[in-house]
Amino acid sequence: MQCVTDSEIDEWLLERYIPRDPYFSDSSPALYLQFYAPKSYRQTDAFTRHYYERIVPESDSLVHMTDWALYEQSEMIAIVGIRASRGEDRMLIDAPGHIITPGQKEIGISLFSLATSFTWSSYLYSPQNHSTLFNWEGEIFDFWTDSEQALAEMRLILHQFDLAETTTGEQGSAPNPKNALC
């Protein structure tokens, strides 16, 4: 795992043609799905594991923490501990991105699952099919991809975890920013 700054996040995404904020980008992947997040940490961990194994296997990823405004000290201790175990001593605010190689997917699973459980907001970006999973404060997930197969696989995962699609986004296509949650 390598922690990266906001400008390094932008560079990583630009090199891979992935929009930082798919809601408001002209280059967002064409396919979109919005659904309710798993209810518990254990479910979120299992869901994220399936995401890594079935949607973005063998792909680098970037876990980007974007909002942790109401964090508890105990929550930050967990994230700082993961980062420190990899030699990172900067604060999350200074380096909110985490580049994960395929062999480090357990770290990505942990970071994304914890952020969801803590009701923080975070992105999980992958160059594979330009896939992006956005955690909206642990309540709603948004998923973008360029792959019909990845979209179909995501729907299978939703069924497996009994997760319901929302009616906010237009199912199967990229959302209209005017309809985006604020």
pLDDT at 23: 84
In a domain, 100, yes or no: yes
Report the phi/psi class of residue 121: left, alpha or beta, with left for phi > 0 and alpha for psi in -120 to 50.
beta
**In whole angstroms, what is the distance from residue 37 CA to residue 24 CA?**
22
| pLDDT tens track for 131-147 | 999 999 999 999 999 99
Neighbouring C-beta atoms of residue 180, cutoff 10 Å: 15
What are residue 142's DSSP bridge partners?
34, 134
pTM of the model: 0.90
Q: Domain limits at 126?
A: 2-17+29-170
Question: Crossing angle, helix 41-50 and helix 105-117, to 10 degrees?
Answer: 140
Residue 22: inside a domain, yes or no? no
Asked whether residue 179 is domain-assigned, the answer is no
Region of 159 (left: φ > 0; alpha: ψ -120 to 50; beta: rest) is alpha
Domain count, the chain: 1
* pLDDT tens digits, 9-56: 999 999 999 999 888 877 888 899 999 999 999 999 999 999 999 999
